[in-house]
Amino acid sequence: MRGPIFPEGWLEVIDISRHFGGIMALNRVSFQLEQSSISSLIGPNGAGKTTLINVISGLYPADQGRIRFQGENIAGMAAHSIAARGIGRTFQLEELFGSLTVLENVMVGCHVRSRSGMVSCGLALPSARREEEQEREAALANLQLIGLEHKAGDPIASLPLGERKLVGVARALSMKPRLLMLDEPVGGLAAHEISKLVNLICRLRSEGLTIFIVEHNMPFVMSLSEKVLVLDGGALIAEGLPEEIRRNEAVIKAYLGEEVAVA
């Protein structure tokens, strides 16, 4: 389904396709996100949701199509350049840095906001030391946001899954992104951790952040999102408000398709 293209759109994904081997992982996907909104992407397993996030964040290029972020075409840019332009993300498998402590992991998020180069760091110049202090404070503040500042010095491996996922979010937040993409943020989380995350997301949105969530957990998605996109077999099959999507026939078929066909 292709929607109309608004030239003033904030994040525009236009006609994005990507194949792996013989499979079309993404098939002419087009949509838009508005600023300061919470949108979600749902779909059956293998629909291409993580592929879409990877293409937007620049881990690999699309075969065709354009992605415009705040008016600039970012499709095909290197991942670190896209990150520098304000797009942050978390990972389904966390991808935390096992050799660093919790605080240090979050401080890596601050990296993109500092300037000191290798030589100034190596020579311990005052400017480098000042930036180090600033990074530490900013990271600590983000840890407080997720309620884990008491574990700042702990190794990552010692944290349970739910807390590790929250550290991933704090790390991405340290970039001060304008768009935050969360890839399956609540998988494996306990109920109280989920509500913690929900509160955090609402708070971030009220501060102006745009959030794009890839998730399977329906209650979570439906309760939070202002817009829901549905991906199936690499193609966008539905887009709209949560209630509309819940009643959408194509969506129901996509999720329950095999059972219906067998019966």
Q: In angstroms, what is the minimal distance from the CB of 82 to another protein?
A: 8
Total Cβ atoms within 10 A of residue 231 = 25
Pairing type for strands 38-42 and 227-232 reads parallel
Total Cβ atoms within 10 A of residue 121 = 15
Q: Structure tokens of 146?
A: 């997720």
Applying CB under 8 A, does 157 fall inside the site for another protein? Answer: yes
Applying CB under 8 A, does 156 fall inside the site for another protein? Answer: yes
Applying CB under 8 A, does 163 fall inside the site for another protein? Answer: no
Q: Which of 1, 24, 77, 79 binds another protein (CB under 8 A)?
A: 79
Q: C-alpha angle 177/221/76, rounded to 5°?
A: 40
Residue (1 or 140) nearer to another protein, CB = 140
Q: In angstroms, what is the minimal distance from the CB of 228 to another protein?
A: 24
Applying CB under 8 A, does 99 fall inside the site for another protein? Answer: yes
Choose one: 90-98, 209-217, 223-231, 250-258; the region binding another protein (CB under 8 A): 90-98
List the one residue out of 36, 95, 50, 24 whose CA is nearest residue 216.
50
Residue (175 or 213) nearer to another protein, CB = 175
Applying CB under 8 A, does 148 fall inside the site for another protein? Answer: no
Q: Give the number of residues written for the chain.
A: 263
Applying CB under 8 A, does 126 fall inside the site for another protein? Answer: no
Q: In angstroms, what is the minimal distance from the CB of 135 to another protein?
A: 6
Cβ atoms of 114 and 131 closer than 8 Å: yes
CA dist 68 to 64, 73, 156, 212, 243, Å?
13, 4, 35, 15, 28
Under the rule (CB under 8 A), what is the footprint of another protein?
57-59, 78-80, 83-84, 88-89, 91, 95-101, 103-104, 107-112, 114, 116-119, 121-124, 128, 131-133, 135-136, 152-153, 155-157, 171-172, 175
